[in-house]
Structure 1
Amino acid sequence: MLSSHDLFGILQRKSVTVHFQPILSLKNHSVIGYEGLSRGIGPRGETIPPLMLFEAARRENRLVDLDRLCREAVFEVYRGIQDNEDSLLFLNLESSLLDTVPPGNGYLLEQVIGRKIDPRNVVIEIIESKVNDMANLIEFVDFYRPRGFLIALDDVGSGYSNFDRIAAIKPDIIKIDRSIAKDLDKNYYKQEVFKSLGNLARKIGALVLTEGVETEEELLWAMEFNADFAQGYFLARPQPYNTGITENAREVMSQIKDRFKHLKVRRIESARKRHQVYDNTVQYIVEKLIKSEAYRFNGLLQEIIGEFPYVEALYILDGKGIQCTDTIINGNANVSRRKIFQSAKRGNDLSLKEYFYVLIDSGLPKYTTDSYISFATGNLCRTIATTFNGFDNRTYVLCVDILEAGNSSGLTV
């Protein structure tokens, strides 16, 4: 723990050093800016991590002084960078101060203008969950955005994010929290959260920056999900500014882009082969059914399903969406025992199921749903539905539930 005496010494001597971490564009593989990160220098020359530094300042009621000192240090170094390259400065703001400091006092603006820094090059990072006073937060954003500053929401997707505030703040950039990026290549649920945040950002006109990228695989998946920017140890660690950190990050991206293109092609080819297998499976089952009378459908599905380990369930609806067979579940399926998951029964009305009404109303020969949680098993699946005319010349709909793999988008790394 940093003592109050050491904290006061750091503030008095202005003993902070600045590290910069490059932020790369995943679209044109270039460094578009740097996040400025301050560290304290203790009385014996030791580096004081930012968390320890700010915890001490909060304890001693010196947050305003420390926050302004850190910003001044970042600006002093950045104005030299700005003279040599056109890059953005991502600036951390101690967001909790917006509850106590008048949000439109213009102090930050004075710091920027006083050092001849173009406000359009400055991205103010806000952790909205640290701000209790929503009116102050909006007033702050409304003051700085018209003056050219960009607004980024930091740590989005962490346990404390309030998504209702995103609409109010209208950020230019959403920074997806490290907790989501970690193991993105292995965790299907994080992949879906990442995609959802990305979709949200694009719909409100914001760009997506994934932070805390530590492995090649995490970066590849962020690229797969159309992130615009990335930062993290895999690309470059925070360090005192020098042209070498830019070159190193660019070299990493140069190597990654070729690997990503190769994997993208493999993914598409893998998906094509997988869908061909599914199409053949559906056609095979239909060919069996059209030669059979309706009363035999149930037994026929029971006989067939074991041939296809990737098929989780089979069932048939009539032309009005009424289920006319049992839901036949594959013997190798991992069926949830929770009471919320109950398979549909013969006679149930499934006419409001997407795979029924879209298929019938559109006149398509076949329809495949997006991934969803099956009420029959509790597993993630897709349903492939297709119409066929039975032995009695009536219209039926065959429904084939395909078990989703853990890596739903099929990118194999």
Structure 2
Amino acid sequence: MTIAQQDRTHSAPHGFDVEMTSGLQRYSVQHGELTLTSVFQPIFSLSHMRAVGYEGLLRARDALDRTVSALDVFGEAARLGDVLHMDRLAQTLHLENFKVLGVEHEWLFLNVHPDALTDPYHAAALLANLRRLDLPSRRIVLEVLEQGAEDLERLADSVRQFRERGFLIALDDFGAGHSNVERIWQLNPDIVKLDRIMLSHAAHRADMAAILPGLVTLLHEAGKLVLIEGVETEHEAQMALACNADFVQGFFFGRPSPGAVDAEHAAVCIGEVTERYREQAQARERRKASRLAPYLRAFERAAERLAAGESLEEVCWNFLALDHAARCFLLDAKGRQAGRNVVLRADRAARETRFLPLVDAQGASWLRRPYFRDAINAPERVHVTRPYLSINEALPCVTLSVATRVGEKTCVLCGDIDWEDEERF
């Protein structure tokens, strides 16, 4: 049965009570011995510098007014085989409270169990609630929770039907458990939420910090907006900015609350962290330029000598004598390497023995490399790549390159610099 076939009107929910919290009206409902209500955590666009959505979160208290975690509430519901009913109850509660929140344009992010998406009665209840509350489906982001689905094809079909009705789809906790690249292709979400654990690892590990921007780029190229959740410190906020994430969510920007966010405070917070990011990025660029300066001078002199007719082996010594210079090599106009790599230090040769099959690069084609393409497209000027993984030793490096005339031929002189200790964020 399709969603359209189940689209019918339900009456307003029974048993909901109105309570006042800090002067704000909100709904609560009794479920057994628990009192359930909603809070909303704001989701911010870093570019717009304001909240663009709110995630509905369940809050529960027992008969003695003690806090019960939402995880325990849903865990008990799963134990009793009642998880879909609890899922539907929580959604209804969030919708009611979102309506009285008073926001006019922002999204409501609703956590949805995968099985609830494929259940026709659950879909009907959601659609009926939206009609009753006069909330258009375009304002609802259905967050597919990170759990295994028994019938992934059926889930994907249900997700497609919801999207056709105007809902947005978010994939929750990407990078943890079942939420991986394959699930992106299967469910085709509009928004991908990166799991908090990825940001935590990136904040403490240089290798993960290097991966995160590339992952965001990959998701953007796949046509997905990216939300980084769990941002709790300014360092993590800076990382989200550096990654070019679209949206952020976390305690640093806004805690869960019964009410809407203070727009002025949010704009000031994002503006200040953005300004500090800009200052730090400029400082990093200055340090990078200072670090590269002696290499550039030596490399420019090597290119001049090469164009004057000296051999590659003769012109590279000053460049290779610098501490982190790795190798020099020469390419023809088609990107093919002429001769072997020129390496100065004995310790460099010893390091390359682990990658012995790659040492002889004579005749290799570097046509695909940015350092070759940039040099050919803008000759007689030294180009500097972004740090990347060198195939020679599987270590980060930066390559300098310049296209110049050597006799009657155009050649591209290249020089690699080890970049293992580059500063990140």
* TM-score, with structure 1 as normaliser: 0.80
1:308 maps to which of 306, 322, 325:
322
Question: Relative to 1, partners in 2 of residues 1:87 and 1:325: Cα closer, same or farther, differing over 3 Å?
Answer: closer
Q: Tell me by how many angstroms 1:258 deviates.
A: 2.5
Corresponding residue number in structure 2 for 1:161: 179
Q: Give the counterpart letter for 1:37 in structure 2.
A: L
1:38 maps to which of 58, 71, 91:
58
Corresponding residue number in structure 2 for 1:28: 48
1:177 maps to 2:187: no
Secondary structure of 1:15's aligned partner: strand
1:257 maps to 2:277: no
Segment drifting more, 38-47 vs 227-236: 38-47
8 Å contact kept, 1:141–1:151 = yes
1:65 maps to 2:75: no
1:107 maps to which of 122, 125, 146:
125
8 Å contact kept, 2:332–2:410 = yes
Q: Give the counterpart letter for 1:258 in structure 2.
A: E
Q: Tell me by how many angstroms 1:271 deviates.
A: 4.8
1:152 maps to 2:170: yes
Question: Relative to 1, partners in 2 of residues 1:288 and 1:151: Cα closer, same or farther, differing over 3 Å?
Answer: same
Secondary structure of 2:32's aligned partner: helix
Q: Give the counterpart letter for 2:301 in structure 1.
A: Y
Output the CA distance in 2 between the equivalents of 1:230 and 1:44. Answer: 35
Alignment of 1:171-250 (within 5 A): 171-182=189-200, 184=202, 187-239=205-257, 241-243=258-260, 248-250=265-267
> Which digits, 9 at most, give the CA deviation of each residue in 1:261-313, with x for residues without a partner?
3334434444555555543231133345556753xx44764x43553223222
Q: Tell me by how many angstroms 1:367 deviates.
A: 4.9
Aligned length, in residue pairs: 394
1:120 maps to 2:134: no
8 Å contact kept, 2:34–2:62 = no
8 Å contact kept, 2:254–2:261 = no
Segment drifting more, 132-141 vs 21-30: 132-141
1:95 maps to 2:114: yes
1:350 maps to 2:364: yes
Q: Tell me by how many angstroms 1:228 deviates.
A: 1.6
Question: Relative to 1, partners in 2 of residues 1:341 and 1:72: Cα closer, same or farther, differing over 3 Å?
Answer: farther
Output the CA distance in 1 between the equivalents of 2:262 and 2:37. Answer: 17
Q: Give the counterpart letter for 1:39 in structure 2.
A: R
Question: Relative to 1, partners in 2 of residues 1:109 and 1:13: Cα closer, same or farther, differing over 3 Å?
Answer: farther
8 Å contact kept, 1:23–1:32 = yes
Output the CA distance in 1 between the equivalents of 2:405 and 2:190. Answer: 53
- Which consecutive residues of structure 2, in runs of 5 or more, have no partner in the other structure? 1-28
Q: Give the counterpart letter for 1:283 in structure 2.
A: E
Output the CA distance in 2 between the equivalents of 1:170 and 1:234. Answer: 29
Q: Tell me by how many angstroms 1:402 deviates.
A: 1.9
Secondary structure of 2:129's aligned partner: helix
8 Å contact kept, 1:208–1:228 = yes
8 Å contact kept, 1:323–1:345 = no
Corresponding residue number in structure 2 for 1:279: 296
8 Å contact kept, 2:226–2:245 = yes
Corresponding residue number in structure 2 for 1:3: none
Secondary structure of 1:304's aligned partner: helix
Corresponding residue number in structure 1 for 2:11: none
2:416 maps to which of 391, 394, 401:
401
Question: Relative to 1, partners in 2 of residues 1:204 and 1:102: Cα closer, same or farther, differing over 3 Å?
Answer: same
8 Å contact kept, 1:22–1:245 = no
> In angstroms, what is the RMSD of aligned CA positions?
3.5
Q: Tell me by how many angstroms 1:211 deviates.
A: 0.7
> Which digits, 9 at most, give the CA deviation of each residue in 1:211-259, with x for residues without a partner?
11111122122122322211111112223x1356656544422322322
- Which consecutive residues of structure 1, in runs of 5 or more, have no partner in the other structure? 1-8
Percent identity, please: 27
Q: Give the counterpart letter for 2:413 in structure 1.
A: L
Output the CA distance in 2 between the equivalents of 1:88 and 1:319. Answer: 53
Q: Give the counterpart letter for 2:113 in structure 1.
A: E
Output the CA distance in 1 between the equivalents of 2:121 and 2:182. Answer: 20
Question: Relative to 1, partners in 2 of residues 1:345 and 1:84: Cα closer, same or farther, differing over 3 Å?
Answer: closer
8 Å contact kept, 2:355–2:393 = no
* TM-score, with structure 2 as normaliser: 0.78
Output the CA distance in 1 between the equivalents of 2:193 and 2:284. Answer: 27
Segment drifting more, 375-384 vs 160-169: 160-169
Output the CA distance in 1 between the equivalents of 2:140 and 2:350. Answer: 53
Secondary structure of 1:182's aligned partner: helix
8 Å contact kept, 1:20–1:35 = yes
Question: Relative to 1, partners in 2 of residues 1:331 and 1:288: Cα closer, same or farther, differing over 3 Å?
Answer: farther
Output the CA distance in 2 between the equivalents of 1:92 and 1:69. Answer: 12
Q: Give the counterpart letter for 1:381 in structure 2.
A: C
8 Å contact kept, 1:18–1:36 = yes
> Which digits, 9 at most, give the CA deviation of each residue in 1:297-351, with x for residues without a partner?
44764x43553223222234567734424441656769767845654227x2123
Q: Tell me by how many angstroms 1:33 deviates.
A: 1.8
Output the CA distance in 2 between the equivalents of 1:43 and 1:14. Answer: 6
1:376 maps to 2:392: yes
Output the CA distance in 1 between the equivalents of 2:178 and 2:294. Answer: 43
Question: Relative to 1, partners in 2 of residues 1:360 and 1:119: Cα closer, same or farther, differing over 3 Å?
Answer: closer
Secondary structure of 2:31's aligned partner: helix
Segment drifting more, 394-403 vs 332-341: 332-341
8 Å contact kept, 2:213–2:242 = no
Q: Give the counterpart letter for 1:404 in structure 2.
A: W
